Amino acid sequence: MQKVGVVEKTPMRVSLDISAPVQVGYFILLSLLTLAAFLTLFLFRSLDDNRLTSWLWVFADSDLVPLLLLLALGIACAIVLARAEAPERHPAGFLFLTSFAVGALFWREPEVIVDAARYFTQAKYVELYGVGYFLHEWGREIWAWTDLPLIPFLQGLLFSLAGEHRAAVQVLNTLWFAGAVALTYGIGKTLWDRTVGFLAGLLLLGMPYLLTQVPLMLVDIPTMFFLTLAVFATIKAIRQGGAGWFALASAAAALTCLTKYSAWLLLSVLVVIVLAHLPPHPRATLSRAAGVAVPAALLLGAVLLWKQDVFAEQIGLLGSYQAPGLQRWEESLASTFFFQIHPLITVAAAGSLYAAFARRDWSYAIIGWLVLLVLVLEIKRIRYLIPVFPMLALMAAYGIREIRQPAVRRGIAYCAVLASLVVALYGYLPFLQKTSAVNLKAAGEFLNTLEIDRVEVFTLPPAGGELHPGVTVPLLDLYSTKKVVYRKEADLTPRQEEIERSPLRFTWEFRQPKYYQPATEAGVGPAPMAIGVVFSERDPILPDTLEQRLRGYRLAQEFGVADPIFGYQSLVRVYLPTKTQSRPEGRV
């Protein structure tokens, strides 16, 4: 079958040649630049307005000397790795295994973003009631907010096969992350060469914020995987043809549309892929593009018809609430591209523009389009940018390729990666483990050690009304293997206009699933062997009804880690019947 490719004109060479005798000097310069970049960001950390891992919070009480020593050790390791050619001999396998291992380092992180409650709730319906029930009730009995069904459905299937364990979701998420890294290599290799692909795969590990998202039960990492798969498979289908590539590209595009609504806009990159491949055989290119687009449209159309009323309602909510809300929840580009992504990557990506224009390289438009789209549309919420990160890594790798010396190219990538790992592992991870979200994790794990079958959960209203505390029940359930029964203490709903402006509006509109309702027990039966109380403030005043319910129970454990950063604090007390034996009472 005829191959379709891009004719690349190279009227001038822009590569930077570095001779071996001065290589050590460049390594010294690179080391100093890496240290200087960290120190600069540390000194100006007040400029980081990230909503989760701002350097202002993460390093508020940090001792700079140990961090610099760790960074120096990381730079030394980067230089040693840069001189080793072995990883580039088996790039795809090396990148996949390395990225999986790096992602696994963050499995200790608690679920710090409450959106996970929605996805867990939907996934649990698949586990408890089966595929047929999920397909029929999604968007009806199964409350879907603005979520699309693919990822919760796959997570629910995983629960059905492997059991309802957070570890199973973390393994799946890490596989998706590692897969996206390997696919990024594949895109770089297909469009240019193994060097661009290998460097791009490495540079995805140089984005510390991205690493913190790997263990979370959210849809951002799987969206990144499916979008990257769609890009890679479409490039292959356009260049090589073949029923297998057509089928994979069509399926990947349709599945990407079912991960997250923002991915619909990002899939415009597939049009850019077609346009970049029009010369020198436009007819063959358009024919192959149709071979991808038509099946994908049919698949997606069938799904949209399946739940057209639900999708229409969700799109309306996106237009009336989510889109205007982005302006209220935005984070600066300086925060995203310098603090949350290593600045060497950002600088290399910016420098790649010159090399691409000098070469008249139309393939570059494929990786540059999504980054350009983000800048033009002023999308300043980093969670919406996660699927674009592989393209940014490819841009940076394209720029770094202009250095001829392989060891120096690798040195730049490894320095970005090792420096980012120091920030993520010794800054972000300890910070997130000290947020109040860790209390739900600790309480769930404590419940798992008890010889009980059920836990009855009560939630107390927070003073500030930041979110509805009922949303913490699924998060506690995510960590616990016990049957959870939820009893809401009071009507906490604020005024409607306050709900509509709230960045956590979904928590007030969240519909508790029927499997938590005590009505399933018809109000009779043996009392739960444990009672959990979730509250937000120290020494809460318990309602009379709860005081009566706790008669005959004693406080077995309190999980009271509190942080000064986030408004709502998830504090937990676990009560057991007076005669029950357990570990000594205390606070954690």
Give 456-525 as a 3 state SS string. EEEECCCCCCCCCHHHHHHHHHHHCCCEEEEEECCCCCCCHHHHHHCCCHHHHHCCCCHHHCHHHHCCCC
- Does 528 share its domain with 496? yes
Percent of the chain at pLDDT above 70? 90
- Does 406 share its domain with 450? no
Q: What is the pLDDT of residue 586?
A: 55
Separation CA 275–CA 293 (nearest Å): 14
Neighbour count for residue 241 (Cβ, 10 Å) = 18
Q: How confident is the model at residue 567 (pLDDT cuts 50, 70, 90)?
A: confident
Among 77-81, 334-338, 427-431, 518-522, the range scoring the smallest mean pLDDT is 518-522
- Does 256 share its domain with 399? yes
Residue 328 belongs to what H/E stretch? helix 323-328
Determine contact, residues 100/178, Cβ cutoff 8 Å: yes
| Residues in Cβ contact with 327 at an 8 Å cutoff, skipping those fewer than 6 apart | none
Domain endpoint, select from 392, 410, 433: 433
Q: Which two tokens stand for residue 376?
A: 């033009």
How large is the greatest C-alpha to C-alpha distance in the chain, in angstroms? Answer: 85
Overall average pLDDT of the 331-336 stretch: 95
Among 67-81, 283-297, 382-396, 538-552, the range scoring the smallest mean pLDDT is 538-552
* Residue 585 in domain: no
* Residue 129 in domain: no
- Does 385 share its domain with 514? no
Q: What is the pLDDT of residue 62?
A: 87
Overall average pLDDT of the 320-342 stretch: 86
Residue 99 belongs to what H/E stretch? helix 91-104
Neighbour count for residue 297 (Cβ, 10 Å) = 14
Res. 523: pLDDT tops 70: no
Which residue has better confidence, 524 or 369?
369
Total of domains in the chain: 2
Q: What is the DSSP string of 20-33?
A: GGGHHHHHHHHHHH
Length of the chain: 588
Separation CA 588–CA 585 (nearest Å): 10
Distances (CA, A) of 8 to 192, 267, 280, 364, 510: 10, 25, 11, 11, 53
Neighbour count for residue 380 (Cβ, 10 Å) = 19
- Does 356 share its domain with 376? yes
Overall average pLDDT of the 188-208 stretch: 97
Overall average pLDDT of the 471-484 stretch: 96
Counting beta carbons within 10 angstroms of the beta carbon of residue 1, is it exposed (0 to 12), middle (13 to 18) or buried (19 or more)? Answer: exposed
- Does 568 share its domain with 548? yes
Percent of the chain at pLDDT above 90? 78
Separation CA 240–CA 497 (nearest Å): 55
Name the residue with tokens 């980093």: 382
Q: Is 522 left (phi over 0), alpha (psi -120 to 50) or beta?
A: left
3-state secondary structure at position 554: strand
- Does 449 share its domain with 504? yes
Q: DSSP class of residue 52?
A: T
SS3 for 379-407, per residue? CCCHHHHHHHHHHHHHHHHHHHCCECCHH
* Residue 377 in domain: yes
- Does 319 share its domain with 413? yes
Domain endpoint, select from 382, 405, 433: 433
* Residue 142 in domain: no
3-state secondary structure at position 446: helix
Neighbour count for residue 60 (Cβ, 10 Å) = 12
- Does 105 share its domain with 240? yes
| Residue 48: half-sphere exposure toward Cβ, Cα within 13 Å | 24
* Residue 155 in domain: no
* Residue 492 in domain: yes
- Does 53 share its domain with 67? yes
Containing domain of residue 90, as a range?
Answer: 20-113+165-433
Which residue has better confidence, 124 or 322?
124
Separation CA 429–CA 112 (nearest Å): 11
* Residue 144 in domain: no
Separation CA 531–CA 344 (nearest Å): 51
Res. 13: pLDDT tops 50: no
Counting beta carbons within 10 angstroms of the beta carbon of residue 421, is it exposed (0 to 12), middle (13 to 18) or buried (19 or more)? Answer: buried
Overall average pLDDT of the 148-166 stretch: 97
Domain endpoint, select from 433, 448, 478: 433
* Residue 13 in domain: no
| Residue 331: half-sphere exposure toward Cβ, Cα within 13 Å | 21
- Does 255 share its domain with 370? yes
Q: What is the pLDDT of residue 23?
A: 74
Res. 574: pLDDT tops 90: yes
Which residue has better confidence, 13 or 188?
188
- Does 305 share its domain with 369? yes
Q: Which of these, 425, 349, 433, 422, lies nearest to 389 by C-alpha position?
A: 349
